[in-house]
A and B are shown apart, each in its own frame.
Chain A
Amino acid sequence: MHNQHDYVLRTVEERGVRFVQLWFTDVLGTPKAFTITPAEIENALEEGMTFDGSAIDGFSRIQESDVLARPDATTFQILPWREDDAPVARVFCDISNVDGTPFQGCPRHVLRRTLRRARDLGFTVFAAPEIEYFYFTDADPEHAPTGLDRGSYFQLTVADLGSDLRQRSVLLLEEMGIPVEYSQHEDAPSQHEIDLRYTDALTMADTVMTTRLVVKELAQENGVYASFMPKPLAGVQGSGMHTHFSLFEGEDNAFADPADNHGLSKTARAFIAGLLHNAGAITAVTNQWVNSYKRLSPGYEAPAHVSWAHNNRSALVRVPFAKSGNPDSTRIEYRAPDAACNPYLTFALVVAAGLDGIEAGYDLPREAAANLYAMTPDELAKDGIRPLPGSLHEAIEVMRPSQLVAETLGDHVFEWFVRNKRAEWHDYTTQVSQFELDRYLPQL
């Protein structure tokens, strides 16, 4: 532990680091930071930095509002996009109470606690998200978002600022030790995707925060805007964060069973079953905004129903075929989360839902082979395929009675989240939308 502190202190000194940003995340997944000088870093590492948590979404409590940001020295990293002559470093923090106990409102703590549960069952969790986003000319809500190009999937566009920015983002990420599996132009105009290589789930949640920031930062430097909004444009697909998960038991992929005709172990089947069982209840977190449900409407490559399949992109859980002879690549892909979720809480709930399946021994329902978008509600019901919540309101009401979600998030986050999201829904329902004006004003 002390070597790590030494390492950070020496690096700050040797590299002439001017400022260290202490990064953490509020309950809704918004990145937060405050900056300290090198003179304060030693004390920050030893004792943490006190700050008033009441201004942070989901941190506020009635009595005591001071909390401690405790840097996780293993995440100390010099930021590559800053000037070399005045380097700035960042370090992720765990938030604790002033007495040193973990602060219940800290999303990183929620994920840590869930991963500890997985570990007690003998599992290490790996995650690999595919992050989609748009480049727009600006973020002005007064007009519809304007893309930078009219490209489409895999299109090689000439002198395309969006693709250039994406590639430079990937290089920056690599410089920060974040390996990218691949990146591409997505389906919609000006939409891009960055797929990250798997790593342990906690590091990956940190990495998602870093990735969003790097992408936004580079866009801003170039006078444009990068958005992870789930569905910024009507009529084209939204921005998801499909995430691949695998569990390892020591050296072995606990999801793999080469003898099975799907290559799936009993553990994998139970994990998927648990995920499907709890899918409705965790949706409010994996898709936490009013706008998230516009993406989940059928027909735009986003899941709308609780189902699993091998090669059916309308399914909620997809099981990609493992590369032949490499059972270690066996994994499941959860397709509901959008690019604007809180990765800590999302990963925590997906893992908890899957572990619930393993512990309770749920049976995996039949694979959904058909295109679910093309099925009528009656046909879906006959096959026992339930829809995902269709709105934030519905998602919150489905989540509320869930013991699993309450236990995983902890009372503090759970209660705050329900309150906050009900308020968001209330604000939304009091609005009169452009849709209503266009449709009703001329005729009513």
Chain B
Amino acid sequence: MEPLLAHPDPLPAEIALALDQAGVPRQAVASADLVEATAPDDGWSGAIVFAAEDLERALELCQAVRSGESPLAPLLLVIDPSQLPALAACRHLFDDFCLTSAPQAELVARLEQLFWRTGLGSRPELIEHGALVLNLETYQASIDGRPLDLTYMEYELLRFLAARPGKVFTRETLLSRVWGYEYFGGARTVDVHIRRLRAKVGEEHAHLIQTVRSVGYRFGQPPGWIR
């Protein structure tokens, strides 16, 4: 299971204990600006945000999670009863909430319910997008049932993009997220690999990876696109 984003850093002891007992891995993130940078390769499995101490800062972080690469991450907000009236203005920023007074068991049960509903709680085994299927467990990709024989970097690039459909990435972002910051070679490397991927998926599926002029690349259609 990918770790859960947990805020603030450090997490209040009772929440940390609840997560530990439930066996939910987590990674503490102190502020909104660290959400993208600290995200694991396969994205967060979800988020638990303790807002009782600093609501404004917590909501800022929720906003970052929502607008980030994995906007689906289920988000559980933990608030103080006095903050209840503030929820009306920010319902789009969380999936569920509970009060600081809730017993540990309730907190864990709510998380599990969220994971179940979004299907994200365990590491996703398959990414399916039209004719394309990526099996993250076996590293195998196929299109129209035909296996795609990818090199490691081609696979990594496709996996990164396919896990975040509809989102546009600059070549620089792809380079740093897929190849790593220490990679020397410049953004042309990304173009070269995109071209190789398109060659391998074949002309009829080459549109799966779209070039967004003077920005970068996007997997699949933009959000809101209607077939």
Contacts and interface: CB of A to CB of B under 8 A. Distances in A.
Given A7-B152, A177-B196, 6 more contacts: A119-B184, A177-B150, A177-B199, A179-B195, A203-B192, A251-B187
A60 to B, nearest CB: 32
A77 B196 CA distance: 13
Interface of B: 138-140, 147, 149-155, 184-189, 192, 195-200, 202
B151 A76 contact: yes
B151 A75 contact: yes
Contact of B195 (A15, A75, A197): A197
A14 B149 CA distance: 11
A3 interface: yes
B186 A251 contact: yes
Contacts of B138: 10, 14
Contacts of A251: 186-187
Nearest to A4: B152
Contacts of A77: 149, 151
Contact of A15 (B147, B189, B192): B147
Contacts of A203: 192
A159 B186 CA distance: 44
Contacts of B149: 15, 77-78, 80, 175-176
Contacts of A124: 184-186, 188
A200 interface: yes
B162 to A, nearest CB: 16
A220 to B, nearest CB: 22
Nearest to A6: B139
B16 to A, nearest CB: 30
A75 B70 CA distance: 31
Given A174-B200, A250-B186, A11 B192 contact: no
B139 A10 contact: yes
22 contacts: A4-B152, A6-B139, A7-B155, A10-B138, A10-B139, A11-B140, A14-B140, A15-B140, A74-B153, A76-B152, A174-B200, A176-B200, A177-B197, A177-B199, A179-B195, A179-B199, A197-B192, A197-B195, A200-B185, A203-B192, A248-B188, A250-B186
B152 A73 contact: yes
A200 B151 CA distance: 16
Interface string A240-257: 000000001011000000
Nearest to A204: B192
A177 B202 CA distance: 10
Contacts of A11: 139-140
A165 interface: no
Contacts of A265: none
Contacts of A248: 186, 188
A294 to B, nearest CB: 35
B200 A177 contact: yes
A178 interface: yes
Interface of A: 3-4, 6-8, 10-11, 14-15, 73-78, 80, 119, 124, 126, 174-179, 197-200, 203, 248, 250-251
B140 A178 contact: no
Most buried by A among B147, B154, B187, B188: B188
A203 B193 CA distance: 11
A256 B197 CA distance: 28
Contact of A175 (B155, B185, B192, B200): B200
A178 B152 contact: no
A200 B192 contact: yes
A248 B192 CA distance: 14
Q: Which 3 A-B pairs have the closest CB atoms?
A: A177-B196, A78-B149, A174-B199
Most buried by A among B140, B185, B186: B186
Contacts of A10: 138-140
Contacts of B184: 119, 124
Nearest to B153: A74
A126 B138 CA distance: 33
A14 B150 CA distance: 13
A251 B214 CA distance: 13
B119 to A, nearest CB: 24
A124 B186 CA distance: 8
B154 A177 contact: yes
Nearest to A87: B149
Contacts of B150: 177
B192 A74 contact: no
A126 B188 contact: yes
Contacts of A3: 152
A248 B184 CA distance: 11
B134 to A, nearest CB: 13
Contacts of A178: 196, 199
